[in-house]
C-alpha cells in the first residue's frame, strides 16, 4: 500500500514538474522573443517590413507604428478584401484556417473546462497530478456517457464549420478566377500540355487539335532542351560575378591608397597613376596554379562566353524537342475548357513555378518514380517509428525507472531541488525539441522525393509534400507517440500484473496527453521564432558585413524577400488541430493551449504575409481543400480512440 502511494506521489511530481518546466520555459522564451522583435523591427525593415517598399505599390502595406506591441492592432484591422488583394488566395485561406480553429477550440475550451474537467476529476479515481484530469481517472462508468456526447458534439461542430469554410473557399476561388485581372493574364489563357506523342509534337498538329475550343489558339511554344545554353549562361554568370568582384576589390584598394601621402606625391611628381597591385588569381589549380591578372582574364573569358551564347541562340530549333508544349488561347474560356480535357495538362502556371528538367518525363517514367517514392516513404515511416519511440521514452523516464533493467535511473524519482528541475526539463522540453528536429530532417527527404516523382511545377511539389508530411506527422507524432507513451508508462505495471493489462492500458493511454501538452507549448515558442526571423536576421548581417561587396550582389540581397514554404505550411497546424481534437475529451486542459497556439499563429502569420513574405508559387488556394480533407483524419482517429477507450474501460 505504501509503495502504491509512493508511486502515485512520484507520478504526481513527474507530470507536474514536466508540465511546469515546459510551461515556464516556453512562456519566458516566447515573451522574450516577442519583446526582442519589437525592439528590432523598426531598425531592420529589410527583415521585418520588406513589403512596405519592395513589392509593387498596389500590394504594399502601410508602415507599422513604433512602440511596444503597437503593431498588433494595425495588423488585425486590415479588411479581408484588402488582405486577399495584397497576399493572394493561398495566404488568405491559410489565415482563415488558423482563425477557424482558434474559434472552434475557444468554444470547446468552455465546454471542456466547465463540464468535462470536473467530471474527470471530482470524486473519481486516485490518479494524481495532470492524470487526475484525464478520462483515465474515471471509475464511474456512467460518467463516460458525457465523453461520448461531447465527442459527437465536437465532431459535428467541426464538420459543420469545415462545410461552411469549404463553401466559402469555392466562392472566393470563383471570384478570383472571374476578375478581369486574372482572366486577361497570360497564366489564365495558357495551358501546359505534357506527354505529347512524337507524331503530334509539332505546332501544326497541336493547333489543329486545340483550335476547336472557343477563341482558338493564339500561340504555341514547343518546349526544347536548352541544357547547353543553360550551362553557358550559368558559366557566364559566374564569370561576371568574378569580374565584378575583382573590379570592386581594385576600386576599394585604390580608394584606400588614395589617402596615403606617398600616393599623392607619386601622382604629382611623376604625372602617372600610382602603382596599385592589380587583383590576381590562379589560372588552373587553386593556390599552386600560375597567377594571372583577374581583370584581363575574366574580361577575355566574358567575351568568349558571350560569343558562345550568341552562336547557341542563333538556332533554337537545333535543341532537342521535349514531349511538352505551352499553348496560349485567344479567349479565357477556351483555355479553361481545354484544361478540362483528358490530355495531361496544367493551367494557371507561371514560368517561375515550372521545374523545367521534369518537362520531358513520360507518364510511365512518372509512375515508376512514384512507386519508388512511395516505397521510400513507407521505409522512412518505419525507421522514424523507432526514433520517435525513443524520444517518447525520454518523456517517461520516471516510469521506466521502475523496471528492473533500468533501476539505475530510479534516482530520478527521488530527485530534489535543482536536480528535480533538471529532470522536469529533460522530460518536458527535450523530447518535444528532439521530435521537432526529427521532423525538420524528415522534411528535407520528403521534399526531394516529391520533386523526384516528376511534378512539373513547384506548387505541385508543395501539394505532394503536404500529403506526405501530414501522413508522417499522423503516424509518428500522433499515433506512435500516443501508444508509445501509454505503453511505456504501463510497462512496470504490465510486468507485475499481466492479467490486468486491459485495465492498466485504459488508465495509462490518456497519460500521453502530458507529452502533447509540452509539444504544443514548444510550438508556441516556434511561433515567436517565426516572427523574429532569426535566420534571415543573422544571414542578412553576415552577407552585408562580410560576403556581399559588388553593387549587383548588394542589390540582389536588398531586393530578395522570403516566402512561405507551402509544402510544410499546413501540416504542422493540421497536426495540432488533430491532437486537440483527439485529446479534447481525454484531457480537456489541452483545449485552451491549442486555442492559444492558433491565436498566436493567426496573429503572427497575418503580420508575416502582410509585411514580410513574398507572394510566390500561388495555387489559387488549392492547398486549403487538401488541408480540410486531412482534418477529417483527425476526426476519424478521435472517434476510434474514444471507442477504444470505452472498450478498455468496459463500457
- What is the layout of strands, in order, in the sheet containing 190-193? 217-225, 320-329, 190-193, 345-347
360 within 8 A of 225, measured Cβ to Cβ: yes
d(CA 431, CA 391): 5
> CA-CA distance, 114 to 12, in Å (whole number)?
23
- Residue closest to 98 by CA, chosen among 632, 600, 590: 600
Task: Dump strand ranges (E) for 139-287.
Answer: 190-193, 217-225, 280-282
User: What's the mean per-residue pLDDT of the chain?
Assistant: 83
Question: What confidence tens digit (pLDDT) does each residue in 220-244 have?
Answer: 999 888 888 989 999 999 999 999 9
pLDDT at residue 440, rounded to an integer:
83
Query: Residues with Cβ < 8 Å from 456, sequence gap 6 or more?
Result: 192, 194, 324, 346, 354, 355, 358, 359
Q: What cell does 172 get?
A: 472566393
Quick one: pLDDT at residue 176? 83
Task: Please report, rounded to a whole number, the percentage of residues in the chain having pLDDT higher than 90.
Answer: 36
The conformational region for residue 88 under phi > 0 = left, psi -120 to 50 = alpha, else beta, is left
Bridge partners of 222?
A: 325
Mean of pLDDT values over 255-260: 72
Tens-digit pLDDT profile for residues 195-210? 888 888 899 999 998 9
Q: CB 218: neighbour CB atoms within 10 A?
A: 15
The reported pLDDT for the residue numbered 588 is 92
- Rounded Cα distance between 610 and 631, Å, is 26
Task: Tell me the mean pLDDT in the region 499-504.
Answer: 51
Q: Vertex 567, ends 380 and 617: CA angle to 5°?
A: 145
CA distance 214 to 649: 65
Higher pLDDT, 514 or 101: 101
Which residues, 6 or more positions from 319, have their beta carbon under 8 angstroms from its beta carbon? 224, 225, 226, 228, 229
Distance (Å, rounded) from C-alpha 47 to C-alpha 531? Answer: 10
Rounded distance between C-alpha atoms, residue 223 and residue 508, angstroms: 60
- Maximum Cα–Cα distance across the chain: 106
Taking each helix axis from N to C end, the angle separating 430-452 and 513-532, rounded to the nearest 10 degrees, works out to 70
Q: Do 423 and 398 form a contact (C-beta atoms < 8 A)?
A: yes
For the cut 60, the answer to whether the pLDDT of residue 494 exceeds it is: no
- CA-nearest of 512, 400, 485, 388 to 136 is 512
Helix crossing, 571-582 with 80-111: angle to 10°? 20
CA atoms of 92 and 83, how far apart (whole Å)? 7
Place 293 in a pLDDT band, splitting at 50, 70 and 90. confident
Give the closest residue to 70 by CA, choosing from 45, 38, 47. Answer: 38
Q: CA angle at residue 117 from 111 to 123, to 5 degrees?
A: 140
Q: Which among 487, 522, 502, 473 is positioned nearest to 389, based on CA atoms?
A: 487
Across the range 118-146, mean pLDDT stands at 78
Q: CA dist 414 to 11, 13, 246, 417, 431, Å? A: 11, 10, 66, 10, 21
Q: How many CB atoms lie within 10 A of CB 545?
A: 8
DSSP string computed for 430-499: HHHHHHHHHHHHHHHHHHHHHHHTT-SBHHHHHHHHHHHHHHHIIIIIIIHHHHHHHHHHHHHHHHH-GG
- Please tell me the pTM assigned to this model: 0.85
Between the ranges 121-135, 351-365, 501-515, 526-540, where is the mean pLDDT highest? Answer: 526-540
63 pLDDT higher than 50? yes
More confident site: 56 or 267: 56
The pLDDT confidence band at residue 396, using thresholds 50, 70 and 90, is low
Which residues on adjacent β-strands are paired with residue 326? 192, 221
How far, rounded to the nearest angstrom, does the alpha carbon of residue 228 sit from its chain's CA centroid? 35
What's residue 488's pLDDT?
Answer: 58
Taking the C-alpha atoms of residue 24 and residue 345, their distance in angstroms, rounded to an integer, is: 53
Kindly tell me the burial class for residue 538, based on how many C-beta atoms sit within 10 Å of its own C-beta (0-12, 13-18, 19 or more): exposed
Report the distance separating Cα 603 and Cα 530, nearest Å: 11
Q: How confident is the model at residue 428 (pLDDT cuts 50, 70, 90)?
A: low
For residue 93, give the C-alpha cell.
485561406
pLDDT digits (tens, 9 = 90+) for 458-469: 888 999 999 999
d(CA 139, CA 126): 9
**Considering only 458-462, 583-587, 640-644, which range has the smallest mean pLDDT?**
640-644
| pLDDT confidence bin for 634, thresholds 50/70/90 | very high
The number of residues making up the chain comes to 651
Q: What is the DSSP letter of 320?
A: E
* DSSP state for residue 336 in the 8-state scheme: H
More reliable by pLDDT, 94 or 435 = 94
| Separate counts of helices (H) and strands (E) for the chain | 26, 6
Q: How would you write 196-228 as a 3-class SS string? A: CCHHHCCHHHHHHHHCCCCCCEEEEEEEEECHH
pLDDT of 218 above 80:
yes
Which residues have a Cβ under 8 Å from the Cβ of 41 and sit 6 or more positions away? Answer: 48, 49, 64, 71
Report the range of poorest mean pLDDT among 148-152, 270-274, 298-302, 623-627.
270-274
What's the confidence (pLDDT) of residue 292? 85
Cα–Cα distance for residue pair 651/648, rounded to 1 Å? 8
Quick check: 443 and 568 in contact, CB under 8 A?
yes
Every domain of the chain and the residues it spans: 2-179+366-648, 228-316
> Which 3-state string (H, E, C) describes 337-388?
HHHCCCCCEEECCCHHHECHHHCCCCHHHHHHHHHHHHHHHHHHHHHHHHHH
Task: Say if residue 3's pLDDT is above 50.
Answer: no
Amino acid at each position: 500500500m505504501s509503495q502504491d502511494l509512493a508511486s502515485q506521489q512520484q507520478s504526481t511530481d513527474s507530470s507536474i514538474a514536466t508540465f511546469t518546466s515546459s510551461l515556464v520555459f516556453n512562456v519566458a522564451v516566447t515573451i522574450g522573443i516577442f519583446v526582442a522583435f519589437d525592439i528590432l523591427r523598426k531598425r531592420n525593415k529589410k527583415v521585418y517590413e520588406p513589403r512596405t517598399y519592395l513589392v509593387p505599390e498596389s500590394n504594399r502595406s502601410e508602415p507599422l507604428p513604433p512602440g511596444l506591441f503597437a503593431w498588433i492592432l494595425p495588423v488585425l484591422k486590415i479588411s479581408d478584401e484588402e488582405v486577399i488583394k495584397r497576399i493572394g488566395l493561398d495566404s488568405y485561406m491559410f489565415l482563415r484556417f488558423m482563425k477557424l480553429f482558434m474559434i472552434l477550440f475557444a468554444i470547446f475550451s468552455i465546454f471542456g473546462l466547465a463540464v468535462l474537467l470536473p467530471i474527470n476529476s471530482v470524486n473519481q479515481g486516485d490518479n494524481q497530478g495532470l492524470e487526475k484530469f484525464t478520462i483515465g481517472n474515471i471509475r464511474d462508468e456512467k460518467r463516460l456517457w458525457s465523453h461520448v456526447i461531447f465527442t459527437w458534439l465536437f465532431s459535428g461542430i467541426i464538420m459543420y464549420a469545415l462545410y461552411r469554410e469549404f463553401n466559402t473557399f469555392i466562392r472566393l476561388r470563383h471570384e478570383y478566377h472571374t476578375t478581369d485581372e486574372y482572366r486577361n493574364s497570360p497564366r489564365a489563357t495558357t495551358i501546359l500540355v505534357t506527354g505529347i506523342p512524337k507524331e503530334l509534337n509539332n505546332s501544326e498538329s497541336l493547333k489543329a487539335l486545340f483550335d476547336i475550343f472557343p477563341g482558338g489558339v493564339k500561340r504555341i511554344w514547343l518546349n526544347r532542351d536548352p541544357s547547353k545554353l543553360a550551362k553557358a549562361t550559368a558559366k557566364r554568370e559566374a564569370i561576371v560575378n568574378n569580374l565584378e568582384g575583382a573590379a570592386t576589390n581594385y576600386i576599394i584598394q585604390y580608394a584606400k591608397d588614395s589617402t596615403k601621402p606617398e600616393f599623392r606625391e607619386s601622382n604629382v611628381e611623376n604625372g602617372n597613376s600610382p602603382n596599385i597591385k592589380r587583383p590576381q588569381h590562379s589560372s588552373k589549380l587553386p593556390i599552386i596554379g600560375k597567377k594571372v591578372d583577374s581583370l584581363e582574364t575574366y574580361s577575355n573569358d566574358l567575351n568568349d562566353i558571350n560569343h558562345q551564347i550568341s552562336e547557341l541562340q542563333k538556332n533554337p530549333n537545333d535543341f532537342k524537342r521535349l514531349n511538352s508544349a505551352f499553348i496560349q488561347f485567344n479567349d479565357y474560356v477556351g483555355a479553361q475548357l481545354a484544361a478540362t480535357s483528358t490530355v495531361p495538362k496544367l493551367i494557371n502556371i507561371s514560368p517561375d513555378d515550372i521545374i523545367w528538367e521534369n518537362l520531358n518525363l513520360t507518364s510511365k517514367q512518372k509512375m515508376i518514380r512514384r512507386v519508388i517514392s512511395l516505397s521510400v516513404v513507407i521505409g522512412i515511416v518505419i525507421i522514424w517509428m523507432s526514433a520517435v519511440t525513443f524520444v517518447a521514452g525520454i518523456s517517461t523516464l520516471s516510469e521506466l525507472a521502475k523496471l528492473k533493467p533500468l533501476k539505475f535511473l530510479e534516482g530520478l524519482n527521488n530527485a530534489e531541488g535543482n536536480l528535480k528541475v533538471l529532470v522536469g526539463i529533460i522530460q518536458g522540453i527535450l523530447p518535444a525539441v528532439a521530435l521537432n528536429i526529427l521532423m525538420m530532417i524528415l522534411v528535407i527527404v520528403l521534399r526531394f522525393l516529391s520533386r523526384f516523382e516528376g511534378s512539373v511545377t513547384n506548387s505541385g511539389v508543395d501539394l505532394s509534400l503536404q500529403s506526405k508530411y501530414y501522413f508522417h506527422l499522423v503516424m509518428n507524432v500522433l499515433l506512435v507517440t500516443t501508444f508509445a507513451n501509454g505503453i511505456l508508462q504501463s510497462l512496470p505495471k504490465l510486468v507485475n500484473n499481466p492479467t490486468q493489462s486491459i485495465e492498466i492500458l485504459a488508465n495509462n493511454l490518456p497519460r500521453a496527453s502530458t507529452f502533447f501538452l509540452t509539444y504544443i507549448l514548444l510550438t508556441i515558442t516556434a511561433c515567436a521564432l517565426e516572427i523574429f526571423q532569426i535566420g534571415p536576421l543573422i544571414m542578412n548581417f553576415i552577407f552585408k558585413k562580410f560576403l556581399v561587396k559588388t553593387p549587383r550582389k548588394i542589390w540582389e540581397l536588398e531586393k530578395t524577400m522570403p516566402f512561405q514554404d507551402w509544402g510544410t505550411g499546413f501540416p504542422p497546424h493540421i497536426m495540432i488541430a488533430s491532437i486537440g481534437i483527439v485529446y479534447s475529451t481525454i484531457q480537456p486542459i489541452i483545449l485552451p493551449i491549442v486555442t492559444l497556439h492558433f491565436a498566436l499563429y493567426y496573429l503572427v502569420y497575418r503580420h508575416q504575409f502582410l509585411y514580410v513574405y513574398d507572394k510566390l508559387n500561388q495555387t489559387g488556394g488549392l492547398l486549403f481543400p487538401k488541408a480540410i480533407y486531412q482534418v477529417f483524419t483527425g476526426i476519424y482517429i478521435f472517434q476510434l480512440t474514444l471507442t477504444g477507450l470505452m472498450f478498455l474501460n468496459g463500457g
